[in-house]
Amino acid sequence: MTPPRRRLAALALALSLGGATMACAQRPGGGEAVVRSEAASFRATSFAAGLEHPWGAAFLPDGRMLVTERPGRIRLVTRDGSVSPPLAGVPAVAAGGQGGLLDIQLAPDFASSRELYFCQAAAVRGGNLTRLVRARLAADARSLDMVQPLLDATPAQTGNGHYGCRIAFGPDSKLYLTTGDRQRQSERAQDVSDLAGKLLRLERDGRPAEGNPPIPGNNARPEIFALGLRSPQGLAVNPATSTLWEVEMGPRGGDEVNLVRPGANFGWPVVGHGRAYSGAQIHEADSRPDMQDPLRAWVPSISPSGAAFYTGEAFPGWKNNLFLGALSGAGLLRLTTEGDRIIGEERLLWGRTRIRHVLAGPDGFLYLLTDESRGRILRLEPAEG
């Protein structure tokens, strides 16, 4: 049986108060500090710079990286950290607040198709919405072509908050896309005729995926795989179990990591641990039998963002751990897992800089996108000794 939400939140709070044992030693003659954590020693080096609010990234088969910038650009970052001019062919985005050009993922057969997917805030009649787009990377990697909008998370509304916009391909090769509740009308997350506040499961052409669960309710949209999401910022496949994990921000408290199951209702705004920014109560309860409890919740908030499981060889002690960027926590969170359970937590680089996204590189290192106007990509490298 899943533990009640109150017990999960209390455990998370106790862990946060306990913190992580971490010591930094400056290298003789200067240089990057060595961080000695529970399971590895590493250095956080500056790999690339000159990016404006980088949001999403994907590694190409040759080790180069495509990186999105929230104002509406995609850049190519080489293996030595050089940053290209913006790629041509990127469509206009609704850049403002939390909106803009957001996540990017390569198709599973990218090596042959050069197909990629990205998510953006788009301006349409009636306001803004979350849009999924498919395109092809040109052979010279300087532009996009065959750009095709696939799905709009309708209806549109005014405002620039809670777009969601994380993309992942599951073990079933289907495309999973998160959408936020758009902030101003949180009840949209429970409306099954509305695509806001949902996890969508799609075919690669944007159609509802075959085998999606039946969702109870009037006029339920066939794209919906799970519902009751607020501001979903992370989406990653657990390599040990092939399950999908979703990460989202609460308001004041109530950040969550959720195990995705077909047809799951994660409860927002009916149940949860957070309060409104004013301090007012939001939820009717912490938990409800017909709604799924999170694997972990945090009170107070750490504002988790992009997420990645680590499967490389450079840090053996981190194998299959889940790493989350933290915005209000301004650091990196490491969660140790056992199957589909979270059994430990460690805070790394805490209080240093807002981390928007985490990627496990093909070289076995971890790459962190910083949420800054002068954004950087940090690389975590093993420190000998």
Per residue of the chain (385 residues), give pLDDT as tens: 344 444 444 344 333 333 443 434 333 333 578 999 999 999 999 999 999 999 999 999 999 999 999 999 999 999 999 999 999 999 999 999 999 999 999 999 999 999 999 999 999 999 999 999 999 999 999 999 999 999 999 999 999 999 999 999 999 999 999 999 999 999 999 999 999 999 999 999 999 999 999 999 999 999 999 999 999 999 999 999 999 999 999 999 999 999 999 999 999 999 999 999 999 999 999 999 999 999 999 999 999 999 999 999 999 999 999 999 999 999 999 999 999 999 999 999 999 999 999 999 999 999 999 999 999 999 999 997 5
Q: Which of 53, 162, 273, 283 is an active site residue?
A: 162
- Which whole-number Å values give the CA distances from 204 to 25, 130, 253, 273, in the listed order? 48, 17, 35, 35
Catalytic, 283? Answer: no
Q: What burial class does residue 210 get, using C-beta atoms within 10 Å of its C-beta: 0-12 exposed, 13-18 middle, 19+ buried?
A: exposed
Q: In what order do the strands lie in the sheet with 231-237?
A: 231-237, 244-249, 255-259, 296-298
| Amino acid letter, 251 | P
The CATH number assigned to the domain holding 174 equals: 2.120.10.30
Whole-number Å distance between alpha carbons of 55 and 370: 8
Tokens of 332: 């990196």
CA-nearest of 210, 212, 326 to 260 is 212
Whole-number Å distance between alpha carbons of 295 and 8: 8
CA-nearest of 44, 93, 46, 45 to 68 is 93
Tokens of 244: 């999908």
Q: What is the pTM of this model?
A: 0.92
Whole-number Å distance between alpha carbons of 291 and 269: 11
- Which whole-number Å values give the CA distances from 9 to 16, 253, 300, in the listed order? 10, 9, 9
In the chain, the number of structural domains is: 1
Domain with 29 in it: 5-382
Residues 6+ apart with CB under 8 A from 225: 176, 198, 199, 200, 201, 209, 212, 213, 260, 262, 263
Query: Which residue in the block uniquely carries the two structure tokens 């680089």?
Result: 349
Whole-number Å distance between alpha carbons of 17 and 25: 24
